[in-house]
Amino acid sequence: MKLEIITPEQIYFSGKVTSVTLPGSIGLFTVWENHAPLISSLKEGKISFTANSKETELNIESGFAEVSHNVVTVCLESIKA
């Protein structure tokens, strides 16, 4: 599936991943291939995703995520250093 992570300043990541774990406003959730469509607000926490057998983690403040047709779009206000 494809993951796109976007901030107002840049496209932070765009590529194929095997899974994405997101800090939803009511708890963590993981998205896999062929996941049902959804939209969720995101709270402060960590996003983790696996691409090319490598796991990456990002600290975020807030945003939202949309899952549709094997595309996960994550819009964030910022990514913490």
Half-sphere exposure of 7 (CA within 13 A, CB side): 12
61: tokens are 């403040």
Tens of pLDDT, residues 4-41: 999 999 999 999 999 999 999 999 999 999 999 999 99
What are the angstrom distances between the C-alpha of 73 and each of 20, 43? 11, 15
Tens of pLDDT, residues 36-80: 999 999 999 999 999 999 999 999 999 999 999 999 999 999 898
Is the pTM higher than 0.85? yes
Half-sphere exposure of 56 (CA within 13 A, CB side): 15
CA distance linking residue 10 with residue 63, whole number of Å: 14
For 71, the 3-state DSSP assignment is strand
- Model pLDDT, residue 28: 96
CA distance linking residue 33 with residue 45, whole number of Å: 23
pLDDT of 81 above 90: no
